[in-house]
Amino acid sequence: MRQRFTRVLGGVALVALVAAGAAACKKEETPANSAACDLKIGFFGAITGADAGLVTPIKQGADLAVAQYNEKNPNCKVTVAPFDSQGAPTNASGLAKSAVADTKIVAMIGPAFSGESEVANPIFEEAGLAGITPSATRPSLSSAGLKIFHRGVGNDDAQGPAAARYIKDVIKSTKVFVVDDQSAYGAGLADKVKSTLGTAVIKSTKVTDNQQDFSAVVSDVKTSGADVLFYGGYTEEAAPFLKQLRAGGYTGKFMGGDGINDANMISVPGATTAEGVLATCPCAPATAAKGTFVADFKKAYGNDPGVYADVAYDVANIYLEAIKAGKSSRADILSFLQSYNKAGSASGVTYKWDAKGELAPDQVKVYVFEVKGGAWNPLAEAPRG
């Protein structure tokens, strides 16, 4: 008898729980439909770790846009939900799934790198979570047939050949050594450089992710007699590689893509060693961005905006514009992006995406940056093909 009573009581409690749960769900749904409040924008990239130098300014740009929005809309704030991949594709899958599971996240900035994008984008596609990457430049990302993919910058089909033309036409080198890190981004970029340079490439080799000792490559570079070394990869390996090259007596130029265009490329080898390092970027210099962006950024963070900070700022503002216009679901935001056609307030680039998620080619500029006096300085726009 007593047992039965317990069972009945338990049953009643269970029913009550389910009902309460349903009520709670309902409560959440109703206000979300009327006014898009407490929504989140995801940010996916290497927020910490050795690659964070490149991603930090991007995150800061996005944060700045959201902070400005929240100041103007104090009753209906948007938050940035960070997903710290540390730049590793192996971390991307789990993070992407947890991003997708949080229904408050209606849009995604990133993933910042190409390797992690290859893993995360299909997961976002399944959930219909729109993404704009402010920095992943591997061309094939846009040919995977994903609706959610948008690229806020040019890709390595623009960057690689432009870097090669700079080597050929401006540096006028005919002895180029090409090294890549076998990553989705690095290998792709290096291949573009090699195919554009043709016979000017005297030798090429590969290093690996996390490599620490580059002595074998250093000997190889020195014996080859190259006067320009192009590195396709990220700062994590490029910085110690550069340091070991210089210590080993290599005196030629060191050039890379946007993957080495960050502050760690200067701080890890030291400013003296990094002097003269060149890096391209399929973007205009963030320090020359339009409007009040540069001043606002400096005020918020105390330093000049790094590469892609302006792009991330514009991208975040596109999402905020959508949320302000009452788009509160992932599907709404995705269709908002598909018909978007406006110039960004900071970068000045017209954000209008084609069916693959790429910008119009005439919007893509490739700049060459140089380390001078311990800082990255825009040098010139790379020659157009």
Footprint (CB under 8 A) of other proteins, residues 16-45: none
CB of 288 to other proteins, least distance (A): 26
| Nearer to other proteins among residue 39 and residue 46 (C-beta) | 46
Q: Min. distance of Cβ 218 from other proteins in angstroms? A: 8
Q: Which of 79, 90, 143, 219 binds other proteins (CB under 8 A)?
A: 219
Amino acid occupying residue 341 = N
227-266 positions binding other proteins, by CB under 8 A:
236, 239-240, 243-244, 246-249, 264
CB of 56 to other proteins, least distance (A): 11
Binding flag, residue 205, other proteins (CB under 8 A): yes
DSSP code string of 91-158 = HHHHHHHHHHH-TTEEEEE--SSHHHHHHHHHHHHHHT-EEEESS---GGGGGS--SSEEESS--HHH
Q: How far apart are CA 72 and CA 253, in angstroms?
A: 48
Residue 89 or 344: the one with the smaller Cβ distance to other proteins is 89
6, 208, 303, 377: which one binds other proteins (CB under 8 A):
208
Among 85, 86, 114, 137, binds other proteins (CB under 8 A): 86
Q: Which residue in 33, 90, 98, 182 binds other proteins (CB under 8 A)? A: 182
Nearest to residue 109, comparing CAs of 168, 40, 49, 165?
40
Task: Quote the DSSP letter at residue 200.
Answer: G
Q: Is 229 helix (H, G, I), strand (E, B) or coil?
A: strand
Q: Which of the stretches 111-119, 207-215, 297-305, 329-337 binds other proteins when contact is defined by CB under 8 A?
A: 207-215
Q: Find the shortest distance in angstroms from Cβ 260 to other proteins.
A: 13
- Does residue 56 bind other proteins (CB under 8 A)? no
| Using rule CB under 8 A, residue 165 touches other proteins | no
- 281 - beta bridge partners? 367
- The side-by-side arrangement of strands in the sheet containing 367-372 is 201-206, 176-180, 228-232, 253-256, 278-281, 367-372, 375-381
Q: Does 90 bind other proteins (CB under 8 A)?
A: no
| Smallest gap from residue 207 Cβ to other proteins (A) | 7
Choose between 38 and 213: whose C-beta lies nearer to other proteins.
Answer: 213
216 is a site residue for other proteins (CB under 8 A): yes
**Angle (CA) 62 374 255, round 5°:** 80
Closest to other proteins by CB, 47 or 359: 47
Q: How far is the CB of 189 from other proteins (least distance, A)?
A: 17
Euclidean distance between CA atoms 22 and 141, whole angstroms: 40
> Taking a C-beta distance cutoff of 8 angstroms, is the pair 62, 107 a contact?
no
Structure letter (DSSP) for residue 383: P
Residue 220 as a binder of other proteins (CB under 8 A): the answer is yes
Q: Which of 223, 216, 225, 266 is nearest to 244 (CA)?
A: 216
Say if CB 349 and CB 363 are below 8 A apart: yes
CB contact at 8 A, 282 and 365: yes
Q: How far is the CB of 66 from other proteins (least distance, A)?
A: 23
363 touching other proteins, by CB under 8 A: no
Pick the binder of other proteins from 103, 140, 267, 345 (CB under 8 A): 267
The three-class DSSP label of residue 65 is helix
Q: Does 271 bind other proteins (CB under 8 A)?
A: yes
Please report how close the Cβ of residue 246 comes to other proteins at its closest, in angstroms: 8
φ/ψ bin of 127: left (φ > 0), alpha (ψ from -120 to 50), beta (otherwise): alpha
372 part of the interface to other proteins, by CB under 8 A: no
Residue range at the interface with other proteins (CB under 8 A); choices 149-157, 200-208, 293-301, 358-366: 200-208
Q: Which is nearer to other proteins, 33 or 215 (CB)?
A: 215
Contact status, residue 279 vs residue 255, Cβ threshold 8 Å: yes
317 CB-side CA count, 13 A: 21
- Binding residues (CB under 8 A) for other proteins: these are 48-50, 52, 86, 182, 205-208, 210-213, 215-220, 222-223, 236, 239-240, 243-244, 246-249, 264, 267-273, 374
